[in-house]
Structure formats: structure tokens, C-alpha cells
Structure 1
């Protein structure tokens, strides 16, 4: 790569000079925050963006900047998708498959963080069911639309460092629910999904990667109390980032969405395939306490990824 990007890079900087005319890209969660910015940056460079959202009325209003920025033939199409309902996920996937139009990139951006204990309409713990299983079914069902050279970007988080997946009790049926433990499980699952999806599809020229957008103040944190947020910031402050030290700073939304478009469009496929990226680079494996710097080894464990895939198929009642 001729350009080096980092934590402060924005979507416009990463995509500077990139022509996406004729490219078709699916972005989930386009009703706010990172999803809207990701869609805007792509449509502004000529991409046909299919934006998925649970609340289409909200998404229609939120994506006005996307339509305003669209250039060089760029467009935005909205589709209904409620990741907390497999009926909705399957309906969305079936509609896309029936259209028969290929995708160059899928950015699995939507998610929830640290809500009170609850379950999806299918009986899964809310975060695992929404963040992981909903995208698991969606991406696998539309996999035939991914042409050679396509990429899947799974939005994970440094929050994966809170917890590995629990394949024995993914829904907290034995009790002991803690919002950030559940969030950590779901975000680890997002990384492991990318590892296994990449393994299964790379011979066909389709690659998958996971990304951490960084700390951004968006609607994702709407379930967090001030006490929870302060506890999170205290944990970050006690951490030492890989490769140096530095005070934590929030990213802007364009900075937060930069790693998604970098991994999906700009970075070499072989560099990011099956890996975890942060700050527009491939992250190092860093075990130990704290939320800053790197990816825990359990999130990239290929055997763990295969086991999660099998458990996920069992839970959703489909084999891929």
C-alpha cells in the first residue's frame, strides 16, 4: 500500500482517489452512526449501497446525507432487516437472493451493546442473537451473491477482550448475566465468524475480516448508565496500548468508520483475510488484561471458530 493510515484517519482520507463506480455493497445498521457514515463514504465514490435497517422510517431520515453525498452514479437502496428476528433475517436474505445481484462487499455493521438481560424473538440472549447469530444467518444465506474478490467485514470490538464465547451456555440459561460479559461473547463471536468464513471461502476468492472501529460515542451506548460508562473508561485508562502509551481519546464517527472501509476496500485481501483489524491496520495478538491494543488469541483460534460455527448452525437450525 502506498498510503499509511492510522487511528485518526477518516473515511474520506482512506477512500481518497478511490472509484467505486459499479461496486455493490451491503451495509447493515444504516439508521445511525457508523452505518450512515460508512454508506455515505461509499456512495460518494460511486458505489451502489444497499443499506439494511430494522426501522426503515428512521433509516430513511438518517440517510439523507448519504443521498446528498452520492456521486459518480452512487445510489442508496434501503431494505428491512431486524437482526433480532430470524424470520426477518431470512426474509431479507431471500429478497436479496431473489434479486440475483452480486455483492462486492458486505459490511456487517449493526449491533447492540450492554442492554439489560433479554432475549430475541427466537429465544437467544439479545446480544449474542443480534450481533452474531443474525449476521451469521444473513451472510451465509447471501454467500452465493459474493463474487470472486468480494469481502465480508464483521464489526467486532475491543470489547471482545471482556470474554470468550461460551459454547455450553450461550444464552445465560444458567444465570449470571452481566451486560459486558455478554457483549464480549458476542464480539468474540464476530471475530471467530470472520476467521471461519474466511477459511471456508478464500479458495473461491472471497475473504472475511473483523474490525474494531474504536471508541466512538454513538447510539450503540444508549443502554449504558453513567456509572457503566465511567467503569469502561477506567478500564481503558488502566490499559496500555500495543506499541506504546497514550491517553484514550474518543474517535469521531468518520474516524470510527475508517477501518471498515479500509479493510473492505483498500487493504490487500491477503493481509486482512481471517484477521482482526484496528486503526486501519492488522492488529497484533495481545493477551492479558485491559481493552486497549490488539486481539486476544482466543478470538483468532481456528478450532474455536469451527466449533462456534457448528454451535451456531445448531442454534439457528440451518447448515451452511
Structure 2
């Protein structure tokens, strides 16, 4: 009998009875929040996890519990230094993984930043687009050959993709006035479109890709929001919920948020989630309309837009895949 999971399901509930011994999984952002919990849940089932993090000292402290879970289960955790806001760092990290040569069964592109003040990455890209999308674009494509038959890519996206479609004409806010939420929307839509196009390019060789929205969770992702800004954001979500006849917004716990990632990576059928956007441990319905509600905007799954983003991303990073 197939288990039905939902918004309150946790990582341990989703992975109950699952044996991941021998599976090798890359998780970016393994120094806090969802990344740490994702790694813990996977190694607790025997997986060998490689955690990528910008700050290795911080990651080592944050993953003490992950190493303890790995020791108890027979899994393992290894950490690599990788700063998604620097393509030199991304390429160096990818080169180390390629030189190592060990294949991956799953890549979970978890790391990200949300609504910071305007800034640019080491390569001159707007911070959110450069970190959330382009850093992962280069990393995943460089190591794509390490994903073999049955492999899977999971991109962490967000309901925030509903703030804005990706802007292929001005992705770095060189002309438009910067708005942190519009920029976040650009990057999160890009995460979904990247999964759509990666899935199209690799599904014939048995590798699939999906995007997931983990839900609203109190993690370091909120560090750029003041209490007043957080309150205003929740009020806007609740207003759209009320208009749609939905209950008020409730924060998820970290294990509930990370459940979406492990569900899409391990439990869901590949054909069901390939090229799709998922939330609350199910494939989301296409849903247009204003406000932050459940579902995915049509533009985020548009195949032509996904291909155009791929080409634009290659142009920006000066690398073809």
C-alpha cells in the first residue's frame, strides 16, 4: 500500500522502512537548517552523504548529530568546501568530485539565500540569482556525468516563485530597480525551470529532476528579514489564504520542511515527479492567480522558457553543457 504524506509529514516518517545503504547523495547547504536535517535523515538510513558548505568550520559544528547518526547506521558524512556565490569555488568543488570519480545517486540542491539587500556575487551576478540558480547550474551540470541510471536531481525552489517569472533580459538588475522579493522570485522560478530542462535533457538516460517547495520554516534563510518584514510577509500570505478559503499560514518544523526533499529524492516515483514542482510531499497543481498560495505558476513549468533560461545561463557563466 502506498503511503500518503502531507504538509506535516517529517523526514523520519517519509523515510520509515527505507534502506539507503550504498546510496551516495550530495546535499548543498549542509551547515544549517534543512541541509543538516536532510543529511541526518539520509545517513540515518545508511546513505553516504557528501555535504557541501561555504564555511567548513560552521558545517563541522552543525553536523555533529549527522555524524552520530551515520555512526549508528553504517552511513557516512563527508564535507566539501563550496561557495555558490563564487564560480571559481563551484568549479573547484566540482573538479574535486570529478577527480574522486565516485558516482552519485542523488543531488539535492538545497542551499540558498532569501531577500538580502542588493549585492553581487564574486562574478558580478545579483546575489540571489547568482547563488540560488547560477551556482547550482554550474555545479550540477559539471558533475552530471556522475549521476547514472536511476539518478535524481532535486532543486529546492519555493512558493516565492510566484513573486516573479525569471527576467532573461535583466537578470542582474542592471536596469530595473532592485526589489529583494522580485529577485527572490526570479531565482526560485529559475530553480524550477532548471529542473524542467535538466529533466528533459537527461531522462532518456534514466536521470530525472524535480523541484520542491519545502514550506515556510524558521531557518537562517530568514536572517535578512526584520521582525516587521516577517510580520508583513505572513500577513500578505494570510490575506491570500483567506481570499482562497484556506486556513492561516503555519510555520513548518525543520523535519517537516526537509521531508519534501527526501520524499522527492527517494520515495516518489521518478515518472511522477520528473520535470515537476512538488510541495507537501505531492506533485503540485498548476495554479495561476495573485498571492502566495499553493500550486505552481504556469510560467515556472514552461518548457520553452526553461530552454531559454538554460541558454542564458550558459551565456552568463561562459560555459556550455
Q: Is the 8 A contact 2:241 2:249 kept in 1?
A: no
Q: Is the 8 A contact 2:162 2:291 kept in 1?
A: yes
Paired residues for 1:1-320 under 5 Å: 2-70=2-70, 71-240=72-241, 245-320=246-321
CA spacing shift, 1:25–1:241, aligned 2, 3 Å: farther
CA distance in 2, matches of 1:228, 1:311: 32
CA spacing shift, 1:243–1:205, aligned 2, 3 Å: farther
Q: Is the 8 A contact 1:30 1:36 kept in 2?
A: yes
In the TM superposition, residue 240 of structure 1 has moved relative to its aligned partner by: 3.0
Number of residue pairs the alignment of both structures matches: 320
CA distance in 2, matches of 1:242, 1:318: 45
Q: Equivalent residue of 1:304, what SS?
A: helix
CA distance in 1, matches of 2:309, 2:162: 17
CA distance in 2, matches of 1:195, 1:155: 13
Q: Equivalent residue of 2:215, what SS?
A: coil
CA distance in 1, matches of 2:245, 2:298: 20
What do residues 138-162 of structure 1 show as CA deviations (whole Å, max 9, x unaligned)?
0000000001000000000000000
Q: Is the 8 A contact 1:242 1:292 kept in 2?
A: no
In the TM superposition, residue 225 of structure 1 has moved relative to its aligned partner by: 1.4
Q: Is the 8 A contact 2:157 2:189 kept in 1?
A: yes
What do residues 265-290 of structure 1 show as CA deviations (whole Å, max 9, x unaligned)?
00000000000000000000011111
CA distance in 1, matches of 2:257, 2:188: 16
CA spacing shift, 1:301–1:112, aligned 2, 3 Å: same
What do residues 165-223 of structure 1 show as CA deviations (whole Å, max 9, x unaligned)?
00000000014100000000000000000000000000000000000000000000101
CA distance in 2, matches of 1:243, 1:19: 40
| C-alpha RMSD of matched pairs (Å) | 1.2
Q: Is the 8 A contact 1:9 1:255 kept in 2?
A: yes
CA distance in 1, matches of 2:104, 2:200: 19
Q: Equivalent residue of 1:123, what SS?
A: coil
What do residues 237-284 of structure 1 show as CA deviations (whole Å, max 9, x unaligned)?
012399962121100000000000000000000000000000000000
CA distance in 2, matches of 1:237, 1:247: 5
CA distance in 2, matches of 1:251, 1:226: 18
CA distance in 1, matches of 2:193, 2:15: 27
In the TM superposition, residue 72 of structure 1 has moved relative to its aligned partner by: 3.1
Q: Is the 8 A contact 2:193 2:305 kept in 1?
A: yes
CA distance in 2, matches of 1:97, 1:109: 20
Q: Is the 8 A contact 2:30 2:52 kept in 1?
A: yes
Q: Equivalent residue of 1:312, what SS?
A: helix
Q: Is the 8 A contact 1:242 1:293 kept in 2?
A: no
CA spacing shift, 1:208–1:243, aligned 2, 3 Å: farther
In the TM superposition, residue 18 of structure 1 has moved relative to its aligned partner by: 0.2
Q: TM-score, normalised by structure 2?
A: 0.98
Unaligned runs of 5+ in 2: none
In the TM superposition, residue 230 of structure 1 has moved relative to its aligned partner by: 1.6
